[in-house]
Amino acid sequence: MVTISVLGAVFAVAGSAVAALLLPWQAASVCAVAGLVEARLGYRGAVHAAAPYGDLVRSAFDVHRWLLIDAMGLQRPGCYAEELAQWRQIHQLWQRGHPDSGSAWVLGHPPKENGTFQYPTEHSGPTATGRLPAFHILSPHDLEPPHAGLVGRYTLRTIDRGEPVTPATLGPAPGAEAFTGRLIAALRTRPTPLEVTPGEHIRLVGIPESGSPYHATDVVVLARPANESLVVLLPQSDLDMLLPMQDVVVSLEGHPRGDH
């Protein structure tokens, strides 16, 4: 199909030029139009034929993505939010040559401090006494030795047993009451320029296909793995209303529909 498309374009140029010299002008127009139509049809046929191949390549990545993660020497994510953040940074690394600022830890690098990357040979701070899942509130029993300044904060990612627990791997301390009666959910949202940080209280506005929007006002941000997704704490009733919505918009409290 690609060959047909190329030959059609060549015929449109060369054929119309020869026809203009040897045949009536109408023949040159016919050659140009016929060649362009053939090139267009060949191109569309090539794209149509390549689409199933692209689906196969995409499926191969999806099925074998863990083997790719292992081959790159990266730690497998512990939840969907972690996986989304990890692949986003891998994409940034491959496309731009470096991950987003402050997100190199997703690819296994030490946290960035004072503008330079630190590569400590020893860690004198607390380590995890067991495998800590993402968004787990730390208790004194989770740390060895116990660290009062970290207790009450939650993990941003899965932390393995014996792994150092640093402020860079933790969110703020929202208080146990913030988790009471709420669920942790990963929601896809409309891209927004608003700066949303972990621990912040926001409003989510669900936009249906028809009818009035739904306002979820009691939402706490846990993490923002990408501009189009949020990991949040919210009541079950709000989650049930937002999931079927066509679009979800982030709005800061005190600034309704602040992203418009």
Six token digits for residue 115: 């503008």
- Could you give the number of structural domains in the chain? 4
Beta strands in 106-228 (DSSP E): 112-113, 116-117, 127-128, 143-144, 183-188, 201-207, 214-226
Query: Domain for residue 258, yes or no?
Result: no
Q: Are residues 19 and 57 in the same domain?
A: yes
Question: How far is CA 116 from its chain centroid?
Answer: 25
Is 18 inside a domain boundary?
yes
Q: Residue 257 domain-assigned?
A: no
Each of the 260 residues of the chain gets a pLDDT tens digit; together they read 667 777 777 777 777 777 777 777 677 777 778 878 877 888 788 778 778 888 888 888 788 888 888 888 888 877 777 788 888 888 878 877 777 655 666 676 655 445 444 444 455 678 888 888 888 888 889 998 888 888 888 888 888 888 888 887 888 887 767 777 888 888 888 877 777 778 888 888 888 888 888 988 888 888 877 666 788 888 888 888 888 887 888 876 544 434 43
Cα distance between residue 108 and residue 240, in whole Å: 35
Token couple for 253: 């409290």
Cα–Cα dist 219/221, whole Å: 7
Q: Which residues pair with 204 in a beta bridge?
A: 216, 250
Q: Which domain holds residue 228?
A: 179-252
Asked if residue 259 is part of any domain, the answer here is no
User: Is the Cα torsion angle 57, 94, 68, 169 positive or negative in sign?
Assistant: negative
Question: Is 133 domain-assigned?
Answer: yes
Is 200 part of a structural domain of the chain? yes
Assigned domain for 102 exists: yes
- Contact assessment for residue 108 and residue 70, using Cβ atoms and an 8 Å cutoff: no
Q: In 3-state terms, what secondary structure has residue 57? A: helix
- Domain assignment of residue 68, yes or no: no
